[in-house]
Structure 1
């Protein structure tokens, strides 16, 4: 483990401990407010919430380490200083015209008329694109 990574992890652990200490202090303050004459059940709810807020950074640190270990990354990759060249633009593929089947004689006449109308529209569209 290099010194930079060790310093980073030490900083993250220190931040997690500081977060926990501050949030436990806020929970203690809310407990005192709950016990006072003007205290409400909302203050008691905050007593339960603040330690969870303090533990969240430690949980996230643990979770990220677990995910990195699962994917085989021991350290984050160094950022690239030069951008990768963009691939040349590709023209969009042209759709191939579909063959329109003529309706059979036993089909519905309205459906056959509608299919002929669609075939005519498709032919006009193909002529305009050519």
Structure 2
């Protein structure tokens, strides 16, 4: 098990998932017993069959979150290995290659859409102006 899955946050999550899984088991047994009592109904039987599914989903979610955390740890270590060759090139040539700088500083974004003229679609042009104003206000705020 990775050390990142033993942090206080993850220990609390492990406890929460264990309690939730056990609780769904108890609720399934309780609904099963209610379905077989004199006042029980098919609704209780349906719930008795649903609670184990909720427990299975809890376990699935727990495993999925742990895998995402482990993958995030691996992804955090990989960029260093990728950037080291670029750093070696920079050391040998005296400066950092512009591609490496651009790759490291800018996130991958799609290219901007071509501008829309107001004569083509006035509503879309007005919306784009509104988005540009919001973007400019956000830049000024930060």
Structure with max Cα Rg: 1
What is the TM-score when the length of structure 1 is the normalising length? 0.48
What is the TM-score when the length of structure 2 is the normalising length? 0.44
- Larger helix percent: 2
